Amino acid sequence: MLIGKKPNILPSEITPRDIYLGRREVLAGIGAAGIGTIMSRPAAAAKLTSVKSPLSTTETATPLKDVSTYNNYYEFGTDKSDPAQAAGNFKPTPWSVEIGGMVAKPGTLTLEDIMKPVTLEERIYRMRCVEGWSMVIPWNGFALAELLKRVEPLGSAKFVAFETVVRPAEMPGQRGSFQPLPWPYREGLRLDEAMHPLTILATGLYGETLPNQNGAPLRLVVPWKYGFKGIKSIVRITLVDKMPETSWQLQNKNEYGFYSNVNPDVDHPRWSQATERRIGEGGLLAKRRPTLKFNGYADQVASLYAGMDLKASY
């Protein structure tokens, strides 16, 4: 599918990472736990060579210290600070992903197999969470469509289902008597959403290998949807003909719908979605800004939902 609007920024106009993120700022601000998780393993410090994508926003990126220490990743705990503190023992290598279902070429691919033929890009995307906070994150990744085309979806395939890894020994949120969600974490997209040029599988951020707490080694990024759709540490991708069940639907279907498009006109039952606060701009004192429909990507994706009632299909 072609994007309906020309990008508003050229690759050459994107601010270089080393200008808006100084190394001293990162090391000073991230804290001991974040440094340990991000810098302790050699792979995490590896630089990624990425093509600058014209699909990036021109907004100022959120500092790495906030992107890597303020996370929703219930496999490591329910507080925003838990993943950075608890993910240090997680082992993202070696890694493989099983791809199957309604495809002509099912199989299990190592991360190296997946990465060899793809074009790695830096894409600076707006990201929005249902709790009312947002970020602007420079992801390093590749179009999910590149991977799906390789396995040749059958005509009967209508949806793509994703599952994350289950490793209670390494993920403290998956063990104990209290389980905040059913495991494995499950998510899904319609096939046309998955094939859209904006949808990526991320392997890094800020030009470095993806930190554990941000979903290493492979996570989904769909910038016009709420952040919980971005399933982390993916181990299984299955193409199916019926809408797959997702973790938050299973947990509370009255509050979390399958589509989860950013929509200021559809409130969460416990709070308004009309405005948001940007992380890194003053915390709870940050000035609220209006929430943009489809998180500001309406020109590119609104056509996917032509004729749909987006209040009913939330």
- C-alpha 147/C-alpha 130 separation (Å) is 28
pLDDT band at 8 (very low <50, low <70, confident <90, very high): very low
Structure tokens given for 140: 């390093």
- C-alpha 306/C-alpha 191 separation (Å) is 16
Mean pLDDT, the chain, as a whole number?
Answer: 87
Is residue 109 one of the residues assigned to a domain? yes
Nearest partner of 301 among 187, 142, 202, 192, judged by Cα = 192
pLDDT band at 45 (very low <50, low <70, confident <90, very high): very low
Helix (H) / strand (E) containing 124: strand 121-128
pLDDT of residue 46: 79
Q: For the chain, how many residues are written?
A: 314
Is residue 228 one of the residues assigned to a domain? yes
**3-state DSSP percent of the chain in helix, strand and coil, to 5:** 25, 25, 50
The tens digit of pLDDT for each residue in 153-207 reads 999 999 999 999 999 999 999 998 889 999 999 999 999 999 999 999 999 999 9
Q: Is the peptide bond before 264 cis (omega within 30 degrees of 0)?
A: no
Is residue 123 one of the residues assigned to a domain? yes
Report how many domains make up the chain. Answer: 1
What pairs with residue 44 in β-bridges?
Answer: none
The owner of tokens 């416990």 is 270
The tens digit of pLDDT for each residue in 249-302 reads 999 998 999 999 999 999 998 989 999 999 988 877 888 999 999 999 999 999
User: 121-128 and 133-143 as β-strands: parallel, antiparallel, unpaired?
Assistant: antiparallel
Nearest partner of 151 among 105, 116, 190, 191, judged by Cα = 105
Residues 6+ apart with CB under 8 A from 146: 117, 118, 119
Q: What is the CATH number of the domain that holds 50?
A: 3.90.420.10
Is residue 5 one of the residues assigned to a domain? no
pLDDT band at 5 (very low <50, low <70, confident <90, very high): very low
Q: Domain residues for 229?
A: 29-305
Nearest partner of 42 among 205, 209, 232, judged by Cα = 209
Is residue 276 one of the residues assigned to a domain? yes
Is residue 22 one of the residues assigned to a domain? no
Is residue 23 one of the residues assigned to a domain? no
What is this structure's pTM?
0.86
Within a 10 A sphere around the Cβ of 283, how many other Cβ atoms? 11
Within a 10 A sphere around the Cβ of 293, how many other Cβ atoms? 17
pLDDT at 15 over 70: no
Is residue 104 one of the residues assigned to a domain? yes
- C-alpha 239/C-alpha 144 separation (Å) is 13
pLDDT at 17 over 50: no
Q: Is the peptide bond before 94 cis (omega within 30 degrees of 0)?
A: yes
Within a 10 A sphere around the Cβ of 112, how many other Cβ atoms? 11
Nearest partner of 258 among 247, 274, 269, judged by Cα = 247
